[in-house]
Amino acid sequence: MPGLIDTHVHLNEPGRVEWEGFLTGTMAAAAGGITAVVDMPLNSRPTITTKEHLENKIKASKGKIFIDVGFWGGLVPEYAHNATVLEDLLDAGALGLKSFMCPSGINDFPATTAKDIQASLPVLAKYGRPILVHQEVVDPPADPAHLMQGEPVSNARSYQRYLNSRPISWETEAVRQLMEVAKDTRSGGVADGAHVHVVHLSDATNTLSIIKEAKAEGSSVTVETCAHYLAFAAEDIPEGATQYKCAPPIRDSRNRELLWKALLDGEIDMITSDHSPSTIDLKLLEEGDFLKAWGGISGIQFSLPATWTHGSARGMSIEQMSNWWSAAPAKLANLPRKGTLEFGKDADIVVWDPEASFVIDGHYPIYFKNKVTAYMGHKYSGKVITTFVRGRQVFEEGLHSPKINILLV
């Protein structure tokens, strides 16, 4: 089928190559049947908020990538109202912009307000590009460590405590604000031509309802969820298992089923990995403190089998999976040569066996740099056999191409 396109990954180079890097990140992607990724502006150092930073990042990727790689630029308050900086960033090759509505955890990537995002939309409209938004606001403002007052500190190993520290209301309020801003993207609006994309939706109730309403009213809006929200459930996460920590958090099994229903009903547009690795020490695996551990799940290599295993059990077809993982992401990132197998398009192909099953354990070959993942210990079906990028074989049965692909989307 068409190679997967993952529009939400953190490769972290330059500046944090001990977390990941172009070499290991794209090796893992190729082994997972992913033929193109779009790299987020963080957690590399510096974050990609200017033309110069993007040019340095592109240089850092040369000779290190096995698949096609594109880049999102970053939107921060300092430049949100500066059309010249944003235009220079887009002219340099950024496929769109990304912002956070809450603290990102990275000092040089501060949170934007809805007004900051709104200010960027006319520039994005000029280029026909999207803005991707992390949809949480701290509402009410509070230190997550103190939200569960009266609980002992030792309970920091409890996943439920972490889940309660980032309630659904944060996600819902952020999307409410964002959909107000997205009204500018309607036909004839001041930002007609721009597009608002909600990343890693974890809540399939009120938050999704607000997005559906905005779509119905004509706003240019799409939404993604992530493979880990579709594979895992809060009540199954063991105490201290910080490899499952991400933001927004993995919610309960009832919500997981609602996410699947929304996908199958066409209400969620696509799936991504949100591959967000760190060094092993930052995950605090021995301490198991969910409040202090770095949040982020490494999953770029396992998105295809995880989606297939859980989706096929719920009636998902291969054609639906291909739309969520290939056609829709290609449209979001404006990659007209990718996403489907058609004459004249790039021959980005993954060959895989839906019936071959395997367990991800300590003996399974994992290609991303730090071998910590929520998928460890789980059994999946859907083994990638070989991957082609633009007609060139880059992976086959545990072996990568000896020549590193240097093409950028």
- Residue 406 falls inside a structural domain: no
Backbone dihedral region for residue 335 (phi beyond 0: left; psi -120 to 50: alpha; all else: beta): beta
Mean pLDDT of all residues in 346-352 = 98
d(CA 76, CA 238) in angstroms, rounded, equals 36
- Residue 408 falls inside a structural domain: no
Question: What residue numbers bound the domain in which 279 lies?
Answer: 4-400
- Residue 409 falls inside a structural domain: no
Please state the φ and ψ torsions of residue 320, each to the nearest 5 degrees: -65, -45
Sign of CA dihedral 51, 52, 53, 57: positive
Structure tokens at 180: 């107000």
On the CB side of 268, CA atoms within 13 Å amount to 32
Strand partners for 224: 270
Structure tokens at 150: 């009266």
Count of structural domains, the chain: 1
- Residue 97 falls inside a structural domain: yes
Mean pLDDT of all residues in 158-162 = 96
Burial label, 343 (beta-carbon count in 10 A; 0-12, 13-18, 19+): exposed
pTM over 0.85, yes/no: yes
Mean pLDDT of all residues in 8-34 = 98
CATH number for the domain including 207?
3.20.20.140
Is residue 145 over pLDDT 50?
A: no
Strand partners for 395: 387, 400
Strand partners for 99: 133
- Residue 156 falls inside a structural domain: yes
- Residue 312 falls inside a structural domain: yes
> What are the tens digits of pLDDT across the range 40-99?
999 999 999 999 999 999 999 999 999 999 999 999 999 999 999 999 999 999 999 999
- Residue 165 falls inside a structural domain: yes
> What are the tens digits of pLDDT across the range 5-17?
999 999 999 999 9
Is residue 148 over pLDDT 50?
A: no
Structure tokens at 45: 């150092």
| Contact partners, residue 93, CB within 8 Å, separation at least 6 | 54, 58, 70, 71, 408
Per-residue pLDDT at 306: 98
At 343, which helix (H) or strand (E)? none
Instruction: Answer for the pair 294, 243: CB distance below 8 angstroms, yes or no.
Output: no
First to last CA, the chain: 20
Least confident of 61-65, 208-212, 297-301, 377-381: 61-65
> Which alpha helices (H) appear in 1-113, and where do they start and end?
22-31, 51-61, 83-91
- Residue 207 falls inside a structural domain: yes
